[in-house]
A and B are shown apart, each in its own frame.
Chain A
Amino acid sequence: MNRTKIARLVLVLGGMLTTAAFLMTFFWANPSLLPDGRVDFSQKIFYFHVPVAEASFLVFFFTALYGVKFLLTKDRRYDMRAKIATEVTLFFVLLTMATGILWTKVAWGVWWQWEPRLTTYFIMTLLVIAYFVLRNSVEDEEKRAVYAAAFGILAFIDAPISFFITRWAESIHPVVLAGGKSSGLEAPMLITFIIAQIGMLMLGYAFYEMRLHEEELKERLEALKVKVGG
Chain B
Amino acid sequence: MGETSCTGRALEVQGLTRAFGVRKALDGVEFELPDGAFLSIFGPNGAGKTTLVKILTTLLNPSAGTAKVCGLDVVTDAVELRHRIGLISHNPLLYPDLTAEENLLFFAEMYGIPQATERVRDLLESVELDHRRLDITRTFSRGMLQRLSIARALLHKPDILFLDEPYSGLDPHAMDILDSLIAQIRGDHTFVMISHDLTKGLELCSHALILANGRVVLFDEKDAIDEGAFRETYRSTVGMGVA
A residues sitting closer than 8 Å to B (CB atoms) are 74, 76, 141-142, 145, 219, 222-223, 226, 230
Contact = CB atoms under 8 A, between A and B. Distances in A.
A135 to B, nearest CB: 15
Nearest to B243: A226
Interface in B1-45: 20-23
B168 interface: no
Nearest to A230: B243
A219 B20 CA distance: 12
Contacts of A226: 22, 243
B20 A141 contact: yes
A145 B21 CA distance: 11
B243 A76 contact: no
Give the size range of B's interface with the partner: under 10
A145 B23 CA distance: 15
Contacts, number: 16
B63 A141 contact: no
10 contacts: A74-B63, A76-B20, A141-B20, A141-B21, A145-B20, A219-B22, A222-B22, A223-B22, A226-B22, A226-B243
Most A CB contacts (10 A, CB to CB) among B22, B23, B61 go to: B22
Interface of B: 20-23, 61, 63, 243
Say whether chain A's binding surface is mostly helix, strand, loop, or mixed.
helix
A226 B243 CA distance: 8
Contact of B20 (A142, A222, A230): A142
Nearest to A145: B20
Nearest to B19: A76
B14 to A, nearest CB: 20
Nearest to A140: B20
Nearest to B60: A142
A198 B243 CA distance: 47
Q: Which 6 A-B pairs have the closest CB atoms?
A: A142-B20, A76-B21, A141-B20, A223-B22, A222-B22, A76-B20
Contacts of A223: 22
Most A CB contacts (10 A, CB to CB) among B21, B23, B61, B63 go to: B21
Contacts of A219: 21-22
A29 B22 CA distance: 53
Contacts of B63: 74
Contacts of B243: 226, 230
Given A76-B21, A223-B22, 4 more contacts: A74-B63, A222-B22, A226-B22, A230-B243
Nearest to B23: A141
Contacts of A142: 20
Contacts of B23: 141
Nearest to A229: B243
Contacts of B21: 76, 141, 219
Nearest to A76: B21
A94 B21 CA distance: 31
